[in-house]
Structure 1
Amino acid sequence: MDSWSTPANDEVDEVWRIVKRIEKLLPGYNCGECGFSSCREFAGKLVDVAGLVRCPILKQERFSGRAEEIAGLLGSSERTEEIVGVLDGLMADFSLSPLPGEPSCREDLHPFNPEARLEEGDIFRYRPLGCPITHFAKVLKSSQGVVTVHLIGPVHLLLGLPAPEDIGICLVLAFEGTICRGRRPEVGETVRFLPEHCMMQKVHSGVVVHSEGERLRIEGIDLKVW
């Protein structure tokens, strides 16, 4: 694919609309015969019609004519940079960066520890459910058992302070940030995204519940990618 050249957002959106149209023209069996985990991922990797030979099901008579339609779509698109997770090798729809002036994306957490009492300004450590990495966070607000935080890293080591309290495992409920690379999704869409501050560069999935310009809120967070 072509290298990233920071195209206008409407151009990026058009490319990803074409990718979604190609995905719908593929058989949709997610069989893995092409070497990718899903038809969606295969659609995002295609750069020319020659790549369609990797899909044996598309050759069946019932899918006649679809290869030609895909070829037409490929000819009308300019592909963008792949956004790929380092840990899992999965392709993301976009990267999520912090809101302007903030150190990381905002995250909503639900601590599993019933004794955790967190207030605005508190710094603590925890481990997200499904992630092996300890996170360090600062509380922005806390209400009804949900804590909104910024990730700040182990700053106590730099300052020579004691380690923050470890409250155990937390469920990540939501991310909020801005799109820095990739396409702009629709509200209600299940997406794959790569948080810029993720130490493992692991692709996450979730559902877009709010979109305002480049600002997004994504809920239903899962480290399993759908």
Structure 2
Amino acid sequence: MEGILELLPGYNCGKCGYKQCRDLAENMRKAEDIGLCPFMGKQQFSEKRKKLKELLKDRSDNTNIIGIIDGLEADFTLAPLAGEPSCREDIHPIDGTELETGDLVRYRPLGCPITHFAKVIEASRGMNTIHMVGPLQRLGNEDVQFIDAGICLIFAFDGKVEKGRIPRVGETVKFIPTHCMMQKVHSGIVVGVEERNVRIEAIDLKVW
């Protein structure tokens, strides 16, 4: 990271979306990221730009994050927030099933072939924040009682960037939740960033 930082202008202007050049350097992964800095396109930085492209080529080759099921490249993996068992997800049952905090629920996300089991940690006006607890066999009790919520829309993820770059607010990103059994690339729009903790909304399993 230090080598990349030395090649950046060092103005700490924030126009790239990061607070300072050090943050940008830490999150640059490919040559296209050079364009985030509005000054690197100027003639006075042409030599540094060439060197930066070479450094980023090496970094990109070593840090690609590829989805197993679809072979697509992701920007980062999303791990649980500190002390939590999985990323948080905001879900809504399409059939209108009412859920309450503490409920154990079985559902299938729209567009995903895998049946999920989750615990509701917050329920409000049809929007339910959940923690994944796994497929049924992980619960250790085949007689466990659950609510069948059918197919659900997935509205948001909250988690911590584990591997890859930290995104900017407003950016459309591709990510892999670490608890995803298929390790499939998801997409969405970043609406909140606090250090490595991010909130992503408008979740979609279709990625182009």
| TM-score, reference length from structure 1 | 0.70
CA contact (8 A) 1:22 1:70 kept: no
Q: Which residue of 2 aligns with 1:144?
A: 125
CA contact (8 A) 2:99 2:126 kept: no
One-letter amino acid matched to 2:27: D
Structure with greater strand share of residues: 2
Q: Which runs of 5+ in 2 are unaligned?
A: 1-21, 37-46
1:67-82 to 2 correspondences below 5 Å = 72-77=51-56, 78-79=58-59, 80-82=62-64
Q: Which residue of 2 aligns with 1:12?
A: 26
One-letter amino acid matched to 2:54: G
C-alpha distance in structure 1 between counterparts of 2:189 and 2:86, whole Å = 20
C-alpha distance in structure 1 between counterparts of 2:90 and 2:48, whole Å = 43
Displacement after TM superposition at 1:117 (Å):
1.9
Q: Which residue of 2 aligns with 1:191?
A: 173
Matched length: 173
One-letter amino acid matched to 1:76: L
Displacement after TM superposition at 1:160 (Å):
4.0
Q: Which runs of 5+ in 1 are unaligned?
A: 1-7, 24-67
Distance change in 2, residues 1:141/1:166 (3 Å): same
Aligned Cα root-mean-square deviation (Å): 2.5
One-letter amino acid matched to 1:219: E
Q: Which residue of 1 aligns with 2:108?
A: 127
One-letter amino acid matched to 1:174: A
Displacement after TM superposition at 1:74 (Å):
2.6
Distance change in 2, residues 1:148/1:157 (3 Å): closer
C-alpha distance in structure 2 between counterparts of 1:176 and 1:147, whole Å = 13
Q: Secondary structure at the match of 1:15?
A: coil
1:143-162 to 2 correspondences below 5 Å = 143-153=124-134, 154=136, 158-162=140-144
Deviations 1:139-175 (A, max 9, x none): 0111111000000012575124245222100000000
Q: Which residue of 1 aligns with 2:99?
A: 118
CA contact (8 A) 1:156 1:163 kept: no
Is the counterpart of residue 180 in structure 1 residue 193 in structure 2?
Answer: no
Query: Which segment drifts farther, 69-78 or 141-150?
Result: 69-78
Deviations 1:96-146 (A, max 9, x none): 0000111100000011112x1211110010000000100001001111110
Distance change in 2, residues 1:89/1:162 (3 Å): same
| TM-score, reference length from structure 2 | 0.75
Distance change in 2, residues 1:215/1:108 (3 Å): same
Q: Which of 141, 151, 155 pairs up with 1:169?
A: 151
One-letter amino acid matched to 2:85: P
One-letter amino acid matched to 2:110: L
Q: Secondary structure at the match of 2:53?
A: helix
CA contact (8 A) 1:12 1:182 kept: no
One-letter amino acid matched to 1:193: F
C-alpha distance in structure 2 between counterparts of 1:210 and 1:178, whole Å = 11
Deviations 1:66-121 (A, max 9, x none): xx99865432324141110000000000000000111100000011112x121111
